[in-house]
A and B are shown apart, each in its own frame.
Chain A
Amino acid sequence: MVSMLIPGLPLLAVLVALVVGWRPAMPWAGVAADGAVAVIGFALALHDIHGSVPSGAGGNLRVDSLSAFMVIVIGLVSMLASWGSVRYLRYEVSTERCTPGQAQQYAVLIQLFVTTMLLAVLAANIGILWVAVEATTITTTFLVGHRRTRGALEASWKYIVLCSVGIGIAFLGTVLVYLAATHAGGHSLHALEWTWLSTHAHALNPAVMRLAMGLLVLGYGTKVGLVPMHSWLPDAHSQSPAPVSALMSGVLLSVAFYALLRFKVIAVLCLGETYPRELFVALALLSLGLASLLLLTQRDLKRALAYSSTEHMGLLALGAAAGGPLAISGVLLHILGHGLAKGVLFLASGEMVIADGSSDVDDARGLLARRPALGGAVGLGLAALLGFPPFSLFVSELTMMRGEMANHMAWAVGLSLVALAIAFAGLTTLGRRLLFGSPPGQAPSQRTPLLVMAPLVAGLGLCAAIGVFTWPFDEILRAAAKLVTS
């Protein structure tokens, strides 16, 4: 029943927001709830290594090592985002950019969003998963549009239309899986369960599963932000309030990716290695290639971060394509590291928007000279994103690469490295314009408030710590990876 508790925690924060209404201290409830989620996820993950799998809600929810790990990811990143939201909401309300009512609405929606994501990773069957993922779209649309600008409106429209279509396609795939399952002897909800599907994968009709897999990859791929269905992502990420972008980029994409990981195992069991791998590699390389090219000329920090998300999702897809325990451990660690680093960067970009009114790099030159602490955090965040040690993205990228190479994907790795080099050039050029040099006017250097810096430092510190220390994630990830390797 513990698993029921987890989505309940953010709901408690929702309740607080609904009851208390807007108070400057109200958003802290979300921080607490999300922190608690991370802690419980952590306990569950350590517990799960030793075998038992708790489930609840009539068998519709269930926690294995993988879901527990995803709970940790969601908990940690959403804690950072909620932390950032405290500052965001106080600023918006104090400058009367939004009414207390809207602030309350925001606080409610953001925790509902977290809840839906938790439901998605805890779902025991693919139907619930689908419903939850679709629900994330609904909860986030208004968050994307929260700033009520023309751009925000446009971004929310693109977001909801593209994602709804994509998720619709995923539903079509789910229906096909259900067809295959019922014909293999499964019945009703039971036939949609992960455990049932993976144990009966060999009995599923391959023709149906082939088509289903294609549709699922395309459908959930929309939510993951894989090219060619990625187009909502730069717009939504750049227009949302920073904490929402952090949450979307840091975990929403990964939650959808989690679904793909699970589906891939079933597909491999049913169809063999080749076809799912080709599908993943194709999307991965497309994403990496296009995202890196678009990064090269990007001048807007938030858009650049969005494309970088697409790029990192491409890396994840490539790792998933390889599929061995090594590659999958790398993929999972990368999910966490990317979530933290991206979360930090988006929060920092939010602070830039507050200070300079835009996230355009040319409006915010010489950040390091003007706001050393914030600039330093952005610099470190970029270094993390670019895969420099000690941040965990280094280890995870290397591990994925090793896994891919061990599975004879040298060509794909080579191409991905070319794309990474281009993306590197893009991000460093952008970082150069943003961070270095003297600011246009002789603005004195400013201190950044502790409330702003705290989540940034926490996120970066965590990201570095998990990249250096073996405990605890080594064990957790090995156990989790075992679940999604055939």
Chain B
Amino acid sequence: MRAHGAAAALLALTSGTVLLCAALALWRRAARGIVSALRVQGFALAGTAAVLGVQLHEPLLLVTAGLLVAVKGVAIPLLFGRLVQLDPSSSETDPVVNVPASLVAAVVLTLVAFVATRPIVESVRGVPITLVPFGFATVLIGFFVLVARRKAVSQMVGLLLVDNGIGLVALLLTTGVPLLIELGGTLDVLLVVVVLRVLVTRMHAELGVFDLDSLQELRD
């Protein structure tokens, strides 16, 4: 039981970290800071997988954890690193929603996540399921980053926050989706990041900007 309790605590810690990193991404202005929040979140997610794997004696989950470390902890931040270097002083000087208001919004969204997941938490039993709201909250905050941040890099991070949130939900609810899907999904995410990176590079090369505000020509 103790070991179990410890695992539960560890799980709470790692998934809490995932949510915290999402909030951090919203809080920080500098591109570097935001990317490092993302990196930490990737590790935290991998940690969650690992803890679950150990707890449930599921070796496949450990493989998943490894995959997560490789992709979300290492590969993706690396891809970002190159981008950040293109524009080292990049920071969210004038976000769409300013930082204090964003944090308030994050709190509200977290509440929404708790409200939304109540039926699931109540109707489905299982220890990690009580942590599901963390995942939903991460998704919502990630989405909010997409809405509230102007820089291309921030928006990419937002997208990945959403993805990590979903990953967390998947781990907590079903101890991960079948491996084939997990692999496919991860590959897709990686490709999306690559595509986005290409687009940002092109944007920089052709328009010389990183601000998404300049992308407002197509309208009614």
Which A residues from 148 to 183 make CB contacts under 8 A with B? 148, 150-151, 153-158, 160-161, 164-165, 168-169, 171-172, 174-176, 178-179, 182-183
Of A130, A160, A189, A238, which contacts B195 at CB under 8 A? A160
Given A154-B217, A156-B199, A294-B220, verify A207-B123 contact (CB < 8 Å).
yes
Of A156, A160, A175, A210, which contacts B119 at CB under 8 A? A210
Minimum CB–CB distance from A52 to chain B (whole Å) comes to 26
B residues in contact with A239, CB < 8 Å: 218
Q: How distant is the Cα of A475 from the Cα of B122 in the complex, in angstroms?
A: 46
A residues in contact with B185, CB < 8 Å: 130-131, 134, 171
Given A161-B155, A208-B124, verify A168-B166 contact (CB < 8 Å).
yes
Tell me how many residue pairs across A and B have CB atoms closer than 8 Å: 134
Please name the residue on chain B nearest to A238 by beta carbon.
B218
B96 at the interface (CB under 8 A from A): no
Minimum CB–CB distance from A421 to chain B (whole Å) comes to 20
Given A150-B217, A205-B124, A211-B116, verify A127-B184 contact (CB < 8 Å).
yes
B169 at the interface (CB under 8 A from A): yes
Please name the residue on chain B nearest to A190 by beta carbon.
B178
Q: How distant is the Cα of A243 from the Cα of B175 in the complex, in angstroms?
A: 42
Which B residues from 169 to 220 make CB contacts under 8 A with A? 169-170, 173-174, 177-178, 180-181, 184-185, 188, 191-192, 195-196, 198-199, 202-203, 206-207, 212, 215-218, 220
Of B120, B177, B199, which contacts A207 at CB under 8 A? B120
Q: How distant is the Cα of A138 from the Cα of B178 in the complex, in angstroms?
A: 22
Which B residues from 132 to 190 make CB contacts under 8 A with A? 139, 143, 146, 152, 155, 159, 162-163, 166, 169-170, 173-174, 177-178, 180-181, 184-185, 188
A235 at the interface (CB under 8 A from B): yes
A residues in contact with B163, CB < 8 Å: 168
Q: Would A161 and B206 count as touching, CB distance under 8 A? A: no
B residues in contact with A182, CB < 8 Å: 174
Minimum CB–CB distance from B83 to chain A (whole Å) comes to 14
Given A168-B162, A183-B124, A207-B123, verify A138-B174 contact (CB < 8 Å).
no
B residues in contact with A179, CB < 8 Å: 120, 124, 173-174
Q: Would A134 and B188 count as touching, CB distance under 8 A? A: yes
Q: How many residues of A contact B (CB 8 A)?
A: 52
Q: How distant is the Cα of A176 from the Cα of B124 in the complex, in angstroms?
A: 11
Q: Would B218 and A175 count as touching, CB distance under 8 A? A: no
Q: Would A176 and B184 count as touching, CB distance under 8 A? A: no
Q: How distant is the Cα of A444 from the Cα of B208 in the complex, in angstroms?
A: 43
Q: Would B173 and A175 count as touching, CB distance under 8 A? A: yes
Q: Would B174 and A192 count as touching, CB distance under 8 A? A: no
Q: Would A175 and B174 count as touching, CB distance under 8 A? A: yes
B residues in contact with A82, CB < 8 Å: none
Q: Would B199 and A145 count as touching, CB distance under 8 A? A: yes
Given A138-B192, A157-B199, A172-B169, verify A211-B159 contact (CB < 8 Å).
no
Minimum CB–CB distance from B176 to chain A (whole Å) comes to 9
Given A168-B163, A175-B166, verify A153-B178 contact (CB < 8 Å).
no
A residues in contact with B192, CB < 8 Å: 134, 137-138, 160, 164
Please name the residue on chain B nearest to A187 by beta carbon.
B178
Minimum CB–CB distance from B19 to chain A (whole Å) comes to 15
Counting contact residues on chain B (CB < 8 A from A), the size range is: 35 or more
B residues in contact with A297, CB < 8 Å: 220
Q: How distant is the Cα of A154 from the Cα of B218 in the complex, in angstroms?
A: 8
A141 at the interface (CB under 8 A from B): yes
B residues in contact with A192, CB < 8 Å: 178, 181
Given A151-B218, A171-B185, verify A211-B119 contact (CB < 8 Å).
yes
Q: Would A160 and B174 count as touching, CB distance under 8 A? A: no
A residues in contact with B117, CB < 8 Å: 211
Q: How distant is the Cα of A279 from the Cα of B207 in the complex, in angstroms?
A: 41
Q: Would A207 and B218 count as touching, CB distance under 8 A? A: no
Minimum CB–CB distance from A212 to chain B (whole Å) comes to 9
Q: How distant is the Cα of A449 from the Cα of B77 in the complex, in angstroms?
A: 51
Q: How distant is the Cα of A171 from the Cα of B192 in the complex, in angstroms?
A: 15
Q: How distant is the Cα of A148 from the Cα of B139 in the complex, in angstroms?
A: 32
A residues in contact with B220, CB < 8 Å: 234, 294, 297-298, 303
Q: Would B169 and A153 count as touching, CB distance under 8 A? A: no
Q: How distant is the Cα of A303 from the Cα of B217 in the complex, in angstroms?
A: 13
Could you give, for residues 436-471 of chain A, a 1 whenever the CB lies within 8 Å of some chain B CB and a 0 otherwise? 000000000000000000000000000000000000
Please name the residue on chain A nearest to B218 by beta carbon.
A235
Minimum CB–CB distance from B148 to chain A (whole Å) comes to 14
Q: How distant is the Cα of A156 from the Cα of B163 in the complex, in angstroms?
A: 20
A residues in contact with B184, CB < 8 Å: 127-128, 131
Q: Would A161 and B178 count as touching, CB distance under 8 A? A: no
Minimum CB–CB distance from B170 to chain A (whole Å) comes to 5
9 smallest CB-CB distances across A and B, nearest first, come from A131-B184, A127-B181, A207-B119, A154-B215, A235-B218, A134-B188, A207-B123, A179-B173, A175-B170
* Known contacts A158-B215, A175-B177, then 4 further A-B pairs from the complex at CB < 8 Å, ordered by chain A residue: A161-B196, A164-B159, A172-B139, A178-B173
Q: List 25 A-B contacts (CB under 8 A).
A: A60-B180, A130-B185, A131-B181, A131-B185, A134-B185, A135-B191, A142-B198, A145-B199, A145-B202, A160-B196, A160-B199, A161-B146, A168-B163, A168-B166, A175-B169, A175-B177, A188-B178, A189-B181, A192-B178, A207-B119, A207-B120, A208-B124, A211-B119, A234-B218, A303-B220
Binding site for A on B (CB under 8 A): 116-117, 119-120, 122-124, 139, 143, 146, 152, 155, 159, 162-163, 166, 169-170, 173-174, 177-178, 180-181, 184-185, 188, 191-192, 195-196, 198-199, 202-203, 206-207, 212, 215-218, 220
